[in-house]
Amino acid sequence: MKIALVGIGKIARDQHVPSITASPDWALAATCSRAGHIDGIPAYTDLEDMMSAHPDIQVVSLCMPPVPRYEFARKVIAAGRHVMLEKPPGVTLSECHALEDMARAAGVSIFATWHSREAARVSAARDWLQDKEITKTHITWREDVRTWHPNQDWVFEPGGMGVMDPGINALSVMTKILPSPVHLLGAELEFPANRQMPIAVQLQFTGNTTADFDWRQTGPQTWDVEVWTTAGKLHLTQGGAHMTIDGKDAGHDPAIAGEYPALYAQMADLVARGASEMDVSPLRHVADAFMLGKRVQVEAFDW
């Protein structure tokens, strides 16, 4: 199937282009971006121009930051093309529901992707936990914003979500592996004095579940989920690429390598089946944290 990528920046170059190029399902037929392009691929700066010039492009994958994404998605659906959304699928829950309704009415597939759910051991963790009695869960998601979002001011602007941008990846894993849903009880959000969005967040959920997100970590990065059960402790590290049970190796793969290829394989399957997938449960927890969280001011942040 012919596919177009819109918003050629860090994640499009790092993950989307290599995954599409390596896949037997897809041919990258065009890009649309104000400045970015991919060598050898027809490049447009206007979405509607691109879609009119390429009526055979069936799927459009949107890789720009979340704030502008809704308008692009709306136009893609209105043009009768299937649409794939980077995470988070919207800046509000209402946007996501509106897009889902539009896609249904237009008879096209919409896929709200959660790349961390495709980390190599996440499905195995869900399967292992399915029949266990869980006593405690703790998530540690600490990374260096300067490495993963260099000079991307949008992450600290309204709708950018701050540290919730990577934190929502952890929540996408949590909502996939825990056998029973949890909901937020309280949160503390640390806002740099000069920024609109938090740089660190602590969350407390039902089910003795806690999460600690921090964007100020230098050196080794931590993307861990620990789940204690009456039958032993499961520990996902490297964002879900490695797993141990009671400290014993239960599988490890290179971090992130298979995540985006798995998303593109799922998109091919959704289009073939005329189906859609829009699970907003990770975004709901983020919205709850902004509604319920206590705000704390911390040191100003500059790149």
Q: Please list the active-site residues.
A: 87
Cβ at position 129, least distance to ligand NAP in Å:
25
Across 58-193, the runs of DSSP E, i.e. the strands, are 59-62, 82-85, 110-112, 134-142, 184-192
How many angstroms separate the CA atoms of 66 and 267, rounded?
19
Q: Give yes or no for residue 143 binding ligand NAP (CB under 6 A).
A: no
User: Under rule CB under 6 A, which residues in 198-227 are in contact with ligand NAP?
Assistant: none
Find the length of the chain.
303
Question: Residue 36 or residue 293: which is nearer to ligand NAP going by CB?
Answer: 36
Q: Give yes or no for residue 65 binding ligand NAP (CB under 6 A).
A: yes
How far is CA 115 from each of CA 92, 174, 208, 259, rounded to the nearest angstrom? 19, 13, 26, 5
Cβ at position 220, least distance to ligand NAP in Å:
17
How many angstroms separate the CA atoms of 92 and 241, rounded?
29
- The DSSP secondary-structure symbol of 45 reads S
Cβ at position 10, least distance to ligand NAP in Å:
4
Q: Which of 98, 122, 215, 134 is nearest to 167 (CA)?
A: 215
Q: Angle 164-177/122-129 helices, nearest 10 degrees?
A: 40
One of 149, 176, 195, 285 touching ligand NAP (CB under 6 A) = 149
DSSP SS3 for 210: strand
Of 63-71, 127-135, 193-201, 263-271: span binding ligand NAP (CB under 6 A): 63-71
| Cα-only R_g, the chain | 19
Question: Residue 65 or residue 282: which is nearer to ligand NAP going by CB?
Answer: 65
Query: Quick one: tokens of 53?
Result: 């010039």
Count how many Cα atoms sit within 13 Å of the Cα of residue 4 in the half-sphere of its side chain.
30
Query: Quick one: tokens of 145?
Result: 């914003």
Q: Give yes or no for residue 7 binding ligand NAP (CB under 6 A).
A: yes
One of 68, 207, 232, 261 touching ligand NAP (CB under 6 A) = 68
Question: Residue 34 or residue 273: which is nearer to ligand NAP going by CB?
Answer: 34
Cβ at position 298, least distance to ligand NAP in Å:
22
Question: Residue 30 or residue 245: which is nearer to ligand NAP going by CB?
Answer: 30
Question: Residue 17 or residue 63: which is nearer to ligand NAP going by CB?
Answer: 63
How many angstroms separate the CA atoms of 87 and 103, rounded?
18
Cβ at position 8, least distance to ligand NAP in Å:
5
Cβ at position 21, least distance to ligand NAP in Å:
17
Q: Which of 91, 81, 34 is nearest to 61 (CA)?
A: 81
| Positions in the binding site for ligand NAP (CB under 6 A) | 7-12, 33-36, 63-66, 68, 86-87, 115, 148-149, 152, 165
